[in-house]
Amino acid sequence: MIISLTSIVFISLLGISLLFHCITHIRVVKARNTKMKETDVLYQDMIYYLHHFRERIFQERIQDFYQPEIEFFNNTYFQDQSTHNRNVIAISFKFVEFLKTGYKKTRVISALHAHALVNASSYPPPHPYHLKAEVTVDILSGKIPLTFFPLLVKKNIEIPTETFLKENQIINKSRKNLVVDNIETELNFSGFLMDALKITGTVMNWRAVREQLGLESSDDPIPEGPHLVVENGIVESVVIQGDVQQMVFFTDSQNLLQKIRIIQNSIPHEIHYRPGENYFLCWNHSLEENLYFREKILVNGDVCSIEQEGNAAFLENSDIQLFVSGKIIIRSKLEREIDVQHLDFKNMKRTNLTATAGKSQLFNSGSAQNEIIVDTETTGKKELQVSMITAGKFTNKNPGAELKLTGSLYCTDLENHGTIEINHMQSSLAKNGSNYFSTVDFKTIDQFLLHFIEEVSDENK
């Protein structure tokens, strides 16, 4: 009897213990579920705020502020915001400056903090969860290289930019602002040419050009055809006098060779070289092979056809700078070769060809108007991995064609008969301090980057 009573008491105590354990477990699970629910709502509020924060920044005319990092990024423009979920989001700002050649990059660091709204009448009491986030916004100001803009059309328009883009069937996939405005720009074609030709001083004339090419001294223009500027074991540039029928870009990946075929008056001239290395072959067989090529090609005339041959136009590390004094017509896709076994993400962030159409005092042959035309004469989607600068019009000629521009475009007018998709990659044209094509005094948002959103406790917030 005593044993039975003891067993009953033991079982009862065990049952009560299990009951309390279950209740505690249920409370823990409920607390966890409540925390997950509350933090999910907090995350949603933070993401919603960040979306509108970004939209507000890119819709503002940063150009109208003398110091946007102070006058715009402050708690007057961006006040603490209460959400309908009884949360509040606060933001604070600081900035650092980086001086570049001719322009300045200002990085605005935005610290965001989200938490429950607290007041004396809060019931039920606010949850204790907190989130913090960090966003950086890069502002460029001054002489900004034109290839830093995905699209810059230097033109007065009487409609909003968004309307202009929609009417011209331009789709922005770059996550940066596209600019259509008659802003002041500088196109220093003579400075670029003097650098490419290695002419010192301030005046460029045919006598100076002839001296650099090793030709007879004279004030007459150089003979028609291709020429080389070679100095101290370096091929500084290829100079072509007269119109070019066809310029073909192709690669030899097995031998790591970038190849360019130039056809003028039905006569082909080829260049084979390894970018970044001392290896250069061309039509002039008297030259040694161990020369370094700067990858600059100057045409005093029109280029009537630029084409890709084979699967790729460019090696991954090519950095070709093409200057044409007249008109450029692109007649095929232009894509880089991807080496999946040796990916170089630094090279993948920039274009391999910068094509510029403009006139200078000497290089003024070719068409009366500088322009770049895309005329592939085929339907379907074509990708151009090119940075383009023209002092005149850009035309996408094929009706109904889809053009994916992975690079940048500067022009003074635009005519589009198809669809243009803008995906931005910068050119390396402005590297080494050589910023010949830029804005004069302009400000723009270059980058909006969310670094993290993370939860913090009351003790560490």
| Residues 136 and 151 grouped into a single domain | no
Domain assignment present for residue 206? The answer is yes
- Say if residue 292 is in the same domain as residue 360: yes
Q: Are residues 218 and 351 in the same domain?
A: yes
Q: Are residues 183 and 226 in the same domain?
A: yes
Q: Do 347 and 364 sit in the same domain of this protein?
A: yes
Token pair belonging to 113? 């903090």
Residues 388 and 335 grouped into a single domain: yes
- What is the full DSSP assignment across 144-163? -BGGGSSEEE----SS-HHH
Q: What SS3 class is residue 312?
A: coil
Whether residue 27 is predicted with pLDDT greater than 80 in this model: the reply is: no
What total of structural domains would you count in the chain? 2
Q: Give the model's pLDDT for residue 299.
A: 98
pLDDT value at residue 413: 97
Q: Would 349 be classed as within a structural domain?
A: yes
Residues 397, 365 contacting (CB under 8 angstroms): no
pLDDT tops 80 at residue 161: yes
CA nearest neighbour of 250 among 328, 331, 337: 337
Whether the pLDDT of residue 31 is over 50: the answer is no
What is the average pLDDT across 357-383? 87
Same domain, 303 and 181: yes
Residue (of 29, 80, 34) closest to 53 by Cα position: 80
Q: Give a yes or no: residue 202 inside a domain.
A: yes
Structure confidence at residue 30 (pLDDT): 43
Q: Which residue has the tokens 């290839």?
A: 147
pLDDT-derived band at 22 (thresholds 50, 70, 90) equals very low
Same-domain check for residues 384 and 254? yes
**Are residue 51 and residue 126 in the same domain, yes or no?**
yes
Could you tell me the residue range of the domain that residue 395 belongs to?
A: 146-439
3-state DSSP call for residue 189?
helix
Q: Which two tokens stand for residue 358?
A: 């403009």
From the list 371, 383, 413, the residue with the least C-alpha distance to 173 is 383
Q: Which two tokens stand for residue 207?
A: 């006598």
If you ran DSSP here, which 8-state letter would residue 229 be given? E
Q: Specify whether 139 is located in the same domain as 177.
A: no
Report d(CA 118, CA 461) in Å as an integer.
16
Predicted pLDDT at 377? 75
Question: What is the average pLDDT value for the chain, to the nearest integer?
Answer: 88
Are 91 and 224 in a shared domain?
no
Is 318 in the same domain as 332?
A: yes
The DSSP-derived string for 346-399 is HHHTB-SEEEEE---SS---S-SS-EEEE---S-SEEEE--EEEESSEEEE-ST
Domain membership of residue 461 (yes or no) is no
Cβ(301)–Cβ(241) below 8 Å: yes
pLDDT, tens digit, 9 for 90 and up, residues 212-259 = 999 999 999 999 999 999 999 999 999 999 999 999 999 999 999 999
* Whether the Cβ atoms of residue 139 and residue 108 lie closer than 8 Å to each other: yes
Residue 308 near residue 249 (C-beta atoms within 8 A): yes
- Residue 445 domain-assigned (yes or no): no
Is 180 among the domain residues?
A: yes
